[in-house]
Amino acid sequence: MKNRIQIVDAIRGFALFGILLIHSIEQFDLANYPESSGVLATLDVNIREIVFFIFAGKAYSIFSIMFGFSFYIQMKNSEDKGIDFSKKFIWRLVILFAIGYIYSLFYYGEVLTVFALLGLILVPLNKLSNKWLIFIMALFIIQIPTVYHLVSSFINPDYSYNKSWHHFKDVSTTFMNGSFLEVIEFNSVKGHLAKWQFMLNTGRYLQMIGLFVIGLLLGRVKYFEKITSYKKVTSKVTVISVLIIGCLYAVPFILERNAFLETQNRLITMLSKSYLDFFFTIFLITAFIHFYSFIQGKFKIEILSYYGKMSLTNYVAQAIFGTIFFYGYGFGMYKYFGATYCFLYGLIFFVIQVKLCKIWLSYFYYGPLEWLWRAITFMDFNLKFKKPIQETNLSKRYAIK
């Protein structure tokens, strides 16, 4: 077995932690809060704003970059053995789509099916040079369709740009009042239509592909394997990202001081939000790498690495338990939990998952879904899963403390 890159697992774990907090505060897309007052009302507003400021639109973006990097690792490992992994990767995405679809019956907001479909583009892109990949990545990140609409709105003041969100009209009522079977029925078709309506309306699908390509490029230049050698580059990227983020945060103030038309305002806001999420994602990754490198020699910080190693299992478990906890067919806690209590729920669930990951990985090489995904990919159900007793004892001695 190839040695894993610990910081990659840690970044994946960090992203997954952010996803858990966002989903918890959103009550897994139910978002129907009880009335609160006084200090609790203030806390609800502040906690929601802080968590969304840090993670909304960024946690999935970090995951997207790691997805592209994982693709590179799988292709490179097979290439080193003289094997073309392209067909296996496509089969791997088919399996991911199947897992994602089953999972989506509980929670329509999942992205596994989206990753599975969009990830297909990586196979032909992998044949291109780095220069072409950089060019293609930029095309996806700049959101060409939205840029086209914006330019059109300046050429023609009467230009109309309206997006429909009709697939979302029954979301909250179904999750609040629907039975388990009614939620599954909604999620099986309408949930996917709503999800893709969001992806298309916001341009998120384009940004995801661009982020996949960034992960592929980071793999090719061996960024994570040589993280120390890239320390100066990482610092420069952090500073540049902060400067660009500062400029993008000024966009609303610029719009207030200029007489742009409503359509122009909306399109400029959409573009700036997309760019802001992108550069904030880059900042979070580079800042996390600096923090991780600084703290590594001072404290035990394997927590996020354990969490990231079982990212698929943890991601699926988050929503299965979360929907049962919040939705009407389950415990119906949406009636009682405002943003503060939802945030605390997310933190507690994170701690429980980390503890379980540490215990599980002291006995097994993979998380249960990670092993299943790998076993079906290679059609090898004799794949190593349980660690031998000697290795288990060492894991318990040095990892579980």
pLDDT tens digits, one per residue of 45-69: 999 999 999 999 999 999 999 999 9
Residue given tokens 């998952």 in the structure block:
353
pLDDT value, residue 1? 42
pLDDT value, residue 15? 96
Share of the chain above pLDDT 90, in %: 78
pLDDT value, residue 300? 56
pLDDT value, residue 190? 95
Three-class DSSP category at 4: coil
Share of the chain above pLDDT 70, in %: 95
C-alpha to C-alpha distance for 74 and 81, rounded to whole angstroms: 11
Higher pLDDT, 298 or 231: 231
**DSSP conformation class of 80:** H
C-alpha to C-alpha distance for 272 and 246, rounded to whole angstroms: 11
Specify which of 1-5, 80-84, 267-271 reaches the highest per-range mean pLDDT: 267-271
Helix ranges (H only) for 26-129 are: 38-55, 59-80, 86-104, 112-118, 122-125
C-alpha to C-alpha distance for 237 and 121, rounded to whole angstroms: 27
Q: Which two tokens stand for residue 311?
A: 């990212």
Beta bridge partners of residue 364, listed in sequence order:
386
pLDDT above 60 (res 126) = yes
pLDDT above 70 (res 297) = no
Residue pair 87/175 in contact by the 8 Å Cβ criterion: no
C-alpha to C-alpha distance for 9 and 90, rounded to whole angstroms: 23
pLDDT above 80 (res 302) = no
Nearest to 52 by CA among 273, 246, 295: 273
pLDDT above 70 (res 397) = no
Residue pair 161/227 in contact by the 8 Å Cβ criterion: no
pLDDT tens digits, one per residue of 318-362: 999 999 999 999 999 999 999 999 999 999 999 999 999 999 999
Q: How confident is the model at residue 170 (pLDDT cuts 50, 70, 90)?
A: confident
**DSSP conformation class of 364:** B
Nearest to 26 by CA among 238, 175, 248: 175
Q: How confident is the model at residue 3 (pLDDT cuts 50, 70, 90)?
A: low
Residues 135, 141, 145, 147, CA torsion sign: negative
**Residue 5 region by backbone torsions, left for phi larger than 0, else alpha for psi between -120 and 50, else beta:** beta
- Position 267, amino acid: L
pLDDT above 60 (res 395) = no
Higher pLDDT, 394 or 153: 153
Helix ranges (H only) for 112-260 are: 112-118, 122-125, 130-141, 144-155, 171-177, 180-188, 190-202, 204-220, 231-249, 251-256
Average pLDDT for residues 148-152, to the nearest whole number?
95
Q: How confident is the model at residue 296 (pLDDT cuts 50, 70, 90)?
A: low
Q: For residue 230, give every residue at least 6 positions away whose Cβ sits within 8 Å of its Cβ, in sequence order, or none.
A: 223
Three-class DSSP category at 396: helix
* Ranges 81-85, 302-306, 330-334: which has the least confidence: 302-306
How many other CB atoms sit within 10 Å of the CB of residue 77? 12
pLDDT tens digits, one per residue of 218-257: 999 999 999 989 999 999 999 999 999 999 999 888 887 8
pLDDT tens digits, one per residue of 173-208: 999 999 999 999 999 999 999 999 999 999 999 999
pLDDT value, residue 161? 87
pLDDT above 50 (res 400) = no
Go through 109-146 and write b for each residue having 16 or more CB atoms within 10 A of its CB, e for each that does not. Answer: bbbbbbbbebbeebbebbeeeeeebeebbeebbbbeeb
Q: How confident is the model at residue 401 (pLDDT cuts 50, 70, 90)?
A: very low
Q: What is the pTM of this model?
A: 0.92
**How many angstroms from the chain centroid is the CA of residue 10?**
14
* Ranges 17-26, 326-335, 391-400: which has the least confidence: 391-400
Positions of E strands within 227-370: none
Q: For residue 394, give every residue at least 6 positions away whose Cβ sits within 8 Å of its Cβ, in sequence order, or none.
A: none
Residue pair 6/293 in contact by the 8 Å Cβ criterion: no
pLDDT value, residue 172? 87
Positions of E strands within 295-343: none
Average pLDDT for residues 84-99, to the nearest whole number?
95
